[in-house]
Amino acid sequence: MTFIRTDRPHQPQAPLSLDQVRQLDALARTLTAEQLLWASGYLAGLGQSVAQAAPSARASTSRITILYGSETGNARALARLAHERARERGLEARLVDMARMMA
């Protein structure tokens, strides 16, 4: 059984090359209905993980604001450390003492 017609000219809008279509067709012909269903879900999952990778690339250019409030200096020290780590990871980070926001 052939799933994809490879005897027709390759359609330019298809995302696969003719060779890729032939490889996929050759594999599909060897699979049971249950295996085809599994492969379909597997490929859909791969596609979704690729789509989700793009937003994480954008996250590296995200801006964050780190707010802190401190009487003893401990929270300020932790906030500074978080600020430094965020910048090391490519985030545009801003450190703000909440006491200055209320003034």
Return the axis-axis angle of helices 33-59 and 18-28, rounded to nearest 10°: 140
68 pLDDT higher than 80: yes
pLDDT value at residue 12: 53
Out of 41-50, 58-67, 89-98, which region has the weakest mean confidence (pLDDT)?
Answer: 58-67
Judged by DSSP in three states, 10 sits in coil
Single pTM value for the model: 0.41
Amino acid occupying residue 69: G
Q: What does the alpha-carbon distance between residue 91 and residue 82 come to, in Å, rounded to a whole number? A: 11
pLDDT tens digits for range 6-34: 555 555 566 788 898 889 889 999 999 99
More confident residue, 58 or 82: 82
**If pLDDT is split at 50, 70 and 90, which confidence band does 66 have?**
very high
Judged by DSSP in three states, 1 sits in coil
pLDDT tens digits for range 73-98: 899 999 999 999 999 888 899 999 99
